[in-house]
Amino acid sequence: MRTNRAALAVIGGSKAYDLLRDNGFGKEEKKEIVKTPYGPAASARLFHGDGYHYWFMSRHGEKGYDTAAAYVNYRANIWALKKLGVERIVSWSGPGAVNPAIAPGDFAVPHDAIDMTRNRASNFFEGTGLGFIRMSEPFCPEIRAAAIAGIAATGAGARDRGVYLCTEGPRLETAAEIKMFGQWGADLVGMTLLPEAFLARQMEMCYAAVCYCTNYAEGVVARDFREGELFEGMLSAAEKEKVEDAVFRFPHVIAETLHRLSRRERGCKCGVAMERYRREGRAGDLLQLAKSCAKKS
C-alpha cells in the first residue's frame, strides 16, 4: 500500500503551529476547512516538507489554548483528515508524569492507553453493531518506531514505552487519582489522545503520539502552591528550562519522524481494522458510512 503525497498529518497542541512554521519545517501551501457531519473541524494546513507533504491541524486552536481538551471536536477532526486522504497521524502531546522515573522535559512514545474520559463522543458508527475492533496496539507500531528513531536523530533520549492515561479535564487530577493511576500501571497522564486514537483506528488510519513530559502529576513530587503560574507551581525553574528545551526540539523530532514515515509503505494492521465488516458487506466507504450514522443519530 503506497502512501500518497499528502497522506501524513500532524495534530498539534497549543502553539504547535507557530513552532512548526517559525522553525521552517515545510512551506505552507494552502489551508482547508472541511465540512463534516459532526460540525466544524479545526482548520487543516498543507505543508511541503523535505520530499513529502503533510497536513497540520491544531486541536486547541492556532493562537493558543483556545479550546480545552474536553471540548475538542475529535470526530470532526479525524473525519476531516480522512476526507483529505490522510493515512498516518503523528500526534503531538504534553502530558504529566505519573511514573517518577519520567522527568519534566523527557520525551516518551507511549505504547498503550487507559481511557478515563467520560463525556466525549468516541464512535463514528453509533446505532450500529460496527466498531467492535481489537486494541492490542492502540498506537501504531510503525509510527512509534519512526518517532523513536526521530527523537534519537535529534540527540535526545526517549522512553520508548509507556502507558498513557487520558482524563476528561479541564481540571488537573487529584493526588489520590494519580496514586490510583500509578497503581494501575499508568506512566503518563493527559487529556488529549483519547478518543482521538480510537477514532483514527475506526477510520483505518495509523496513529501514534510523541510526548514530552510537561510536569510531575499531582502528588508525585511535593510542590507548594504558587498562584498565577502555569500549573500553579507544579514545575520548578530548572524543570521549566528542560521543558522549554524539549519544546524547542519538538519540531525537529516531528520532521525526523515524518521524513522516515514518508519513505516507508504501510505494513501494519491499522489499515485493515474494519476488514471483518468489509468482508460481511457492512462497511464500504467509511466516510459515507459514518456520515449516514451521524444523520440517523
* 1 lies in some domain: no
Strand partners, 91: 11, 209
Q: How far apart are CA 77 and CA 41, in angstroms?
A: 5
289, part of any domain: yes
Q: Cell digits for 251?
A: 519540531
Question: Starting from the edge strand earliest in sequence, which strands make up the sheet with 96-97, in order?
Answer: 112-116, 163-167, 188-190, 96-97, 215-216
Residue 288 lies in a domain: yes
The model's pTM is 0.94
What's the pLDDT score for residue 156?
A: 92
Q: What is the largest CA-CA distance in the chain?
A: 59
Residue at 3 is within a domain: no
> Between vectors from CA 185 to CA 105 and to CA 103, what angle results, nearest 5°?
15
Helices 237-262/141-153 angle, 10° precision: 120
Domain boundaries, position 219: 8-296
Are 256 and 145 in contact by the 8 Å Cβ rule? The answer is: no
Q: Is residue 2 part of a domain?
A: no
Q: For residue 193, what is the domain's CATH number? A: 3.40.50.1580
Reported as a single tens digit per residue, the pLDDT across 69-123 is 999 999 999 999 999 999 999 999 999 999 999 999 999 999 999 999 999 999 9
How long is the chain? 297
**C-alpha of 235 from chain center:** 23
Examine residue 51 and state whether it is found in any structural domain, yes or no.
yes
Q: Mark the ranges of the chain whose per-residue pLDDT is less than 50.
A: 1-4
For residue 143, tell me if it sits in a domain: yes
- Total domains present in the chain: 1
Query: Is residue 220 domain-resident?
Result: yes
Grid coordinates representing 77? 477532526
